[in-house]
Amino acid sequence: MTTQTLTERPSRSTLFDGLTRYIPIGATVALLIALYVGGVANYDNFDSPQVVAKLFIDNAPLLVIAIGMTFVILSGGIDLSVGSVMAFSTMACAWLTVDAGIAAPLALVIVLAFGTGWGLLIGAVIHYFNVQPFIATLVGLFLFRGLTLQVSDTDVSMREVEFWQWGMTHVDFFGKVKDGGFWLPYLSFVAFAVVIIAFVVLHYTRFGRSTYAVGGSEQSALLMGLPVARTKIGVYAISGFCAALAGILAAFATKSANPLANVGAELDAIAAVVIGGTLLTGGAGFVLGTLAGVMVWGMLNTLIAFQGNLSSWWARIVMGILLLAFILLQRVLARSGEKRRT
Amino acid sequence: MNAYAKRLMWPVLILVALIAVNIITTGIDFIVPSVNDDRLGGAFVNILRRSAPLLLIALGMTLVIATKGIDLSVGAVYAIGAAIACQMIIDSSDQTAAGLVFSAIAIALVVTAVIGAWNGVMVAYFGIQPIVATLILMIAGRGIAQLITGGQIPKVQDASPFTELGRGAFLTVPIPIWIAALVLVALALLTRRTALGMLLESVGGNPEASRLAGIRSKGITVLVYLVCGLCAGLAGLIGAANLGSADANNGGQWIELDAILAVVIGGTALLGGRFFLLGTTIGVVIIGTLEDTIINVGLSSQWQFTAKAIVVFVVALLQSPEFRGWFLKPFKRKPAAPATAPAEEAVAK
Amino acid sequence: MSDDPIVQMTGIRKDFTGVRALDGVDFTLRPGEIHAVMGENGAGKSTLIKVLTGVHTPDAGDILLDGKPVRFHSPGAAQAAGISTVYQEVNLTDNLSVAENLFAGREPRLGPFINFRAMRRKAKALLDDIGIDLNVAAPLSSYSIAMQQLVAISRAVDIEAKVLILDEPTSSLDRDEVEVLLGVMRRLAEKGTAMVFISHFLDQVYEICDRMTVLRNGTLVGEWATADLPQNELIGHMLGREAAALEQIERAAAAHHVADEEPLVKAQGLGRKGSIAPYDLDVRRGEVVGLAGLLGSGRTETVRLIAGADRADSGSLTFDGQSARGHNPRTAAARGIAFCPENRKTEGLVGDLTVAENMILALQASRGWARSIPVARRDKLVASFIEKLDIRPANPDMPVKNLSGGNQQKVLLARWMLIQPKLLILDEPTRGIDVGAKADIQRLVAELSAEGMAVLFVSAELDEVTRLSDRIAVLRDRELVAVLESEADMTTERIVDTIVSGGRAS
């Protein structure tokens, strides 16, 4: 029997490691601060707290689908259907409450159940039939855009239904905006709740840790006896739920349903997730990073709005450049980690 | 050649069935070309003319997919190509000058080829997954196109020879069809008369064996993405010339997804390896015909999204061995035979 | 060992699309014993283990666990029944922390939430018990592969396993780490855990195992108590003797007429960390140098450095009088080095391409994509090699994946003969192919060397190596231990002795 003890200090630095792990998200937060400071220095009224609060009003739906996307990407997959599912959910809200006259709370339940059910279905197809996530979710992108257009090819207003006023009902903090306070509508709180729940689920539950494990290596997770099927199907169900919820938030925010809304929202969500420090290949990343990624996106748009003479496409271009920078950064970090391996 | 014919059998059957449905609903005029003003017309010729940009992109995509890659940026590159050419033309004093139109086209093609090569470098030399590398331009590309057009939609005068690229005809055949056919033939010659096609299939089919056989896969990969970018740019030019304008936001919307769909329908597997340019061509015509069919059978045009979704779903499932195994199980004679692998082989043969 | 067996497998058969990996194999494991499963590549060890652990379902045969018939359909099910496995490749997820890897799927919880503090405490205690001191909160990726392997073993140990399977767990461990592992195994055996140990390190097997089961070509050779089976007999059982009487290949004593000429290949201190210790090796024109050694001894790694398939990190290689710097497969081919890798399917052939395309791949690669080989010339070349190598069916347009193993190997050989190499490297060219094709390939090797080609020939079959080679390099534990040169040394017995003694006795 041995009495010998082997000691090894953590040495190699890879993308998953201690400090290296925080480089991408650190860069995102630094960028966010730089954008904010730059805005404050250059524009009047940029230091109003409402500028920050507005990020969480305009981008609440994007934040929610990006959180769902974080789960999927962490598990090593991708979900292209979220933009269309979101648009369809908004349209379904309008149709159910305006045309069909169903009580709004019941409509919400129906829409959320639909989003989750879709996620379960496509997750099962991906897992059991080994269809690539890209292709399987592409089905959703086409299908729900088409179904949305079939319900209505023009805007549907929901102003007549009193229920939809609830989302933009707001709470003042520290007084009115003119007194240096800010306000947030209820729908922002829904988005915050999603962030917090997602954080807890990913970091403190078995399902969350399995998601990371499956994204790290599906084969290993299987051999370790983890519930791979449940995890993979679960993340798509979460993403579907989030997309439906985002559609509901959009209904609250605009009180109308546009059949061509949220085209390309899946790309914005993926970009926000990657800029938030999540590896597109899965296995590493943070929910709070996604929050930061969405805030960068919002802050870019805010800056462009303040500048006045710039157009909105600059946000897209900057987002692309950031995406490039982050992908190259992750690649460099991953390579330096590989090199140190013996 | 026998295997080749087998691969093409399903796409051809689907196309024939779609054409049959159209002939039943709208009469034989659907397929027979008419001649008005010395140019071919008729429903089917129009489908081909409309499908030309998609075909160009799908051909480039076929080569990329053969190397186990994918190019998501083609829709954005389409918009960039269109934006460059249209903006150059409307910026000049005489939009009808032939020299101007030629240089606008040339510059647009050079830029889109460079963009394609950039994608290839990211994939081959930086080792970034194709889906990630091309996602960057998918997101930023339309912004760049809008930057070029200043957020406006540049409208080219109808008198400019540029519009001929989309609307004109040569020897009665519409020019877009000529261009698409020439590119198809050129790519077929490039890949099948040289060894490029075989080396592509080798790299896509087994990268490690290709490396050990001494193939320069990096250069080949860059070349393929370059060709794909060039095709996308050319498609953008035809699309813009047809409309007489370049819409940076909506031009070529979802064309990357349609192109991938066409490639898959045409029998090229998304996992790389064997590719079929002719199959892709049939896939493109199927998609084009599907759009007409939906209207001709009396459904609203909104159904085309739904129809495409169903096609993607069916094709994806049919390509999944797991699905075939599960689906065919009830048809197998032996109840619960444990040897599933040999049985599957027997079905395949 | 009077106890009833804990695992009893009888008549296990497993087929993979036409290949019989296991044929009627029996295996018995008793509580508290450490039982080695021995065999060369393709003998069926891994398949047997995967059947037991639920990765594969057997096509025939019975498995009794504690006397009750079982059939596992997933590794999870086998784990739940008390069969736990550690694989050669670390099957953990290195993006999670050490503690999370130890307890993944069975984390201590408070309500629905993972209790990280308790998990780290338990992890610390578990590793202390085993004799490893790590920061359990650090990501697994920050530790060496060896330490990761020990973590994997700790995980398997902690799951209340009745049966613990260790599949080549020591291949990446150094001596101290191996000692820790063997210590853990002994303690577990005392507690009554039954263990299956697979290793190509004979010392370790003899040190720790009570019993051995030997497999060859998917069939059972026999089961022995370790004490009853000397090393050379074991090696004899593993490598076997060619049962079918292959015709004797007449080898002219080619090596000697060029003995003092400058060697074609001159490797000096060539090595790669973690794969093969630095070695010296010369190969002359017209000479066949065989590489012998057990599985995992570094045979493949040795030739891959010369082929440019892996990059050497020490030493120098001179080929044909010139220094081979920046050696890679493309430059190697340009210099005249041909390499048929061990694994035909994953590293050699492109399955979807046709026989003809696979044959001309290397020649075409050397010409670049733009200069296609003219169709007429190509057809002629392909037809001549199909005839010369007797490839069946003689259809150049058939996808190569539809050919039998022997014919696939001939296609691969043809690919390289087309570039007329100066050095031909063959890594296990005769593994898993039928006797006829085997004889064809052996005859071809003899012919090519007689024509002046140098050949490096790796084989697990000692008969084959001795019959074909002018000299034999013997490897053991990733080290080239001896080069047998004299006629008298070219016997299987001498090779086995050299492997057993590690080249030291002679």
Q: Measured between CB atoms, which of C16, C333, C353 is closest to B341? A: C16
Residues C12 and C121 in one domain: yes
Q: Which chains contact C through at least 3 pairs of Cβ atoms less than 8 Å apart?
A: A, B
Q: Which residues from chain B sit within 8 angstroms of residue A150, using beta carbons?
A: 300, 302-303, 306
Q: Would you give the distance in Å from CA C436 to the centre of its chain?
A: 24
Q: Looking at C375, C402, C420, which one is the last position of a domain?
A: C420
DSSP, res B29: G
Number of residues written out for chain A? 342
Residues C479 and C405 in one domain: no
Q: Measured between CB atoms, which of B128, B151, B306 is closest to A143? A: B306
Residue C307 neighbours by CB under 8 Å, 6+ apart: B212, C329, C332, C337, C339, C425
CA of C356 to nearest chain B CA: how many angstroms apart? 11
Q: Which residues from chain A sit within 8 angstroms of residue C139, using beta carbons?
A: 10, 14, 16-18, 21
Q: Looking at C395, C420, C445, which one is the last position of a domain?
A: C420
Are β-strands C7-16 and C19-29 bridged in parallel, bridged antiparallel, or unpaired?
Answer: antiparallel
Residues C359 and C501 in one domain: no
Are β-strands C60-65 and C68-70 bridged in parallel, bridged antiparallel, or unpaired?
Answer: antiparallel
Burial B247-273 (b: 16+ CB within 10 A, else e): bbbebbbbbbbbbbbbbbbbbbbbebb
Range of the domain at C71: 7-239
* Residue B244, pLDDT above cutoff 90: no
Listed ranges A284-288, A309-313, B37-41, C229-233; the one with the highest mean pLDDT: A284-288
- Confidence class for position B164, pLDDT limits 50, 70, 90: confident
321-340 in B: which are within 8 Å (CB) of A?
Answer: 321-323, 326
CA of B273 to nearest chain C CA: how many angstroms apart? 7
* Residue A300, pLDDT above cutoff 70: yes
Candidate CATH numbers 1.10.3470, 1.10.10, 1.10.1330, 3.30.870; the one for domain A23-37+48-326: 1.10.3470
CB contact under 8 A, A5 and C109: no
Question: What is the rounded CA–CA span in Å between residue A86 and residue A263?
Answer: 10
Q: Which residues from chain A sit within 8 angstroms of residue B313, using beta carbons?
A: 139
Question: What is the rounded CA–CA span in Å between residue C13 and residue C20?
Answer: 8
* Lookup: tokens for B75: 């829709």
CA of C220 to nearest chain A CA: how many angstroms apart? 27
Question: How many structural domains compose chain C?
Answer: 3
Which of A79, A129, A338 would best serve as a mutation to test chain B binding (most B beta carbons within 10 A)?
A129
Residues C173 and C190 in one domain: yes
DSSP conformation letters of A4-33: --EE-------TTSHHHHTHHHHHHHHHHH
Which pLDDT value is given to residue C503?
67
CA proximity to C301, closest of C179, C175, C147, C171: C171
What do you get for the CA distance between the two ends of chain C, in Å? 39
CB contact under 8 A, B309 and A281: no
Give the pLDDT confidence of B181-214 residue by residue, as tens digits. Answer: 999 999 999 999 899 999 999 999 898 899 999 9
Percent above pLDDT 90 for chain B: 40
Mean per-residue pLDDT, B215-223: 91
Question: What is the rounded CA–CA span in Å between residue C231 and residue C502?
Answer: 12
Question: Where do the structural domains in chain A lie, given as residue ranges?
Answer: 23-37+48-326
CB contact under 8 A, A271 and B270: no
Residues C409 and C427 in one domain: no
Question: What is the rounded CA–CA span in Å between residue A316 and residue B151?
Answer: 13
Q: Measured between CB atoms, does B144 come within 8 Å of chain A?
A: yes
Q: Are B226 and B117 in contact (CB under 8 A)?
A: yes
Question: What is the rounded CA–CA span in Å between residue A241 and residue A86?
Answer: 10
Q: Which residues from chain C sit within 8 angstroms of residue B198, using beta carbons?
A: 353, 357, 361, 364
Which pLDDT value is given to residue A315?
80
Q: Is the ipTM of this complex over 0.90?
A: no
Q: What is the dihedral of CA B243, B246, B250, B254, to 10 degrees?
A: 80
- Confidence class for position B331, pLDDT limits 50, 70, 90: low
Residues C291 and C206 in one domain: no
- Confidence class for position B158, pLDDT limits 50, 70, 90: confident
CA of C310 to nearest chain B CA: how many angstroms apart? 10
Which pLDDT value is given to residue C441?
87
Give the 3-state secondary structure percentages of chain B, helix then strand then coil, rounded to 5: 70, 5, 25
Residues C94 and C121 in one domain: yes
Residue that the structure tokens 């196309």 belong to: B15
Question: What is the rounded CA–CA span in Å between residue A8 and residue C142?
Answer: 10
Residue C1 falls within a domain, yes or no?
no
Q: Are B57 and B232 in contact (CB under 8 A)?
A: yes
Sequential pLDDT tens for chain C (506 residues):
446 889 999 999 988 765 678 888 999 999 889 999 988 766 788 889 889 988 888 889 999 998 889 888 887 788 888 888 888 777 888 888 899 999 988 888 888 899 999 999 999 998 888 778 888 888 888 887 778 888 888 888 887 778 999 888 876 677 777 887 888 888 888 888 899 998 877 788 888 999 999 988 788 999 999 988 887 788 778 776 543 334 444 444 444 445 557 889 999 999 998 788 999 999 999 899 999 887 778 889 999 999 999 988 889 999 988 888 878 899 999 999 999 998 888 899 998 899 999 999 999 998 888 888 898 999 999 999 999 888 878 889 888 888 877 889 999 999 999 999 999 999 988 876 766 778 888 888 989 988 889 999 998 778 788 888 889 999 988 889 989 888 778 887 888 888 888 766 44
Residues C395 and C427 in one domain: no
Using CA atoms, how far residue C272 sits from C35, C269, C308, C314, in Å, is: 32, 10, 12, 6
* Residue B26, pLDDT above cutoff 90: no
Residues C127 and C19 in one domain: yes
- Confidence class for position A337, pLDDT limits 50, 70, 90: low
Nearest-CA residue of chain A relative to B321?
Answer: A129
Residues C54 and C146 in one domain: yes
Q: Measured between CB atoms, does A169 come within 8 Å of chain B?
A: no
Using CA atoms, how far residue C381 sits from C348, C359, C396, in Å, is: 20, 9, 11
Q: Helices (DSSP H) in chain A: which residue ranges?
A: 18-21, 23-42, 49-58, 60-74, 82-94, 104-128, 133-151, 186-204, 206-216, 218-223, 228-254, 265-275, 287-307, 313-340
Q: Which chains contact A through at least 3 pairs of Cβ atoms less than 8 Å apart?
A: B, C
Question: Around Cβ A243, how many Cβ atoms within 10 Å?
Answer: 34
Mean per-residue pLDDT, B129-133: 87
* Residue B349, pLDDT above cutoff 60: no
CA proximity to A272, closest of A48, A85, A31: A31
Residue C117 falls within a domain, yes or no?
yes
Q: Which backbone phi and psi does B31 adopt, to 5 degrees?
A: -95, -30
The count of C-alpha atoms lying within 13 angstroms of the C-alpha of B1, restricted to the half-sphere facing its C-beta, is: 0
Q: Measured between CB atoms, which of C348, C365, C369 is closest to B214? A: C365
Give the pLDDT confidence of A219-264 residue by residue, as tens digits. Answer: 888 888 888 999 999 999 999 999 999 999 999 998 888 888 888 8
Q: Are C155 and C124 in contact (CB under 8 A)?
A: no
Mean per-residue pLDDT, A324-336: 79
* Lookup: tokens for A30: 């630094």
* Lookup: tokens for B221: 């990969």
Which pLDDT value is given to residue C242?
45
Measured at the CA of C419, the angle between CA C416 and CA C422, to 5 degrees, comes to: 85
CATH number at residue C331: 3.40.50.300
Q: Looking at C207, C239, C271, which one is the last position of a domain?
A: C239
Which pLDDT value is given to residue C18?
59
Q: Measured between CB atoms, does B205 come within 8 Å of chain C?
A: yes
- Confidence class for position A342, pLDDT limits 50, 70, 90: very low
Residues C416 and C427 in one domain: no
Q: Which residues from chain B sit within 8 angstroms of residue A320, using beta carbons?
A: 136-137, 139-141, 143
Q: Which residues from chain B sit within 8 angstroms of residue C370, using beta carbons?
A: 194-196
* Residue A190, pLDDT above cutoff 90: yes
Q: Are B123 and B65 in contact (CB under 8 A)?
A: no
CB contact under 8 A, A6 and C100: no
Q: Which residues from chain B sit within 8 angstroms of residue C356, using beta carbons?
A: none
Which of A1, A6, A22 would best serve as a mutation to test chain C binding (most C beta carbons within 10 A)?
A6
Which pLDDT value is given to residue A182?
86
Is the backbone peptide bond immediately before C393 cis, with ω within 30 degrees of 0?
A: yes
Q: Which domains does chain B have, with CATH numbers?
A: 2-302 (1.10.3470)
* Lookup: tokens for A171: 């709470």
CB contact under 8 A, C141 and A204: no
Which pLDDT value is given to residue C506?
44
55-114 in B: which are within 8 Å (CB) of A?
Answer: 70
Burial C407-433 (b: 16+ CB within 10 A, else e): bbbbbbbbbbbbbebbbbbbbbbbbbb
Question: What is the rounded CA–CA span in Å between residue A244 and residue A68?
Answer: 10
Which pLDDT value is given to residue B115?
96
Q: Which residues from chain A sit within 8 angstroms of residue B323, using beta carbons?
A: 129, 131
Q: Which chains contact B through at least 3 pairs of Cβ atoms less than 8 Å apart?
A: A, C
Which pLDDT value is given to residue C260?
55
Which pLDDT value is given to residue B329?
67
* Lookup: tokens for A110: 């129906």
Sign of CA dihedral C39, C40, C44, C45: positive
Residue that the structure tokens 């060859």 belong to: C216
Nearest-CA residue of chain A relative to B132?
Answer: A280
Residue C2 falls within a domain, yes or no?
no
* Lookup: tokens for B3: 């295997």
Q: Which residues from chain B sit within 8 angstroms of residue C341, using beta carbons?
A: 212
Mean per-residue pLDDT, A24-48: 87
Q: Are C461 and C291 in contact (CB under 8 A)?
A: no
Residues C291 and C218 in one domain: no
Nearest-CA residue of chain B relative to A150?
Answer: B302
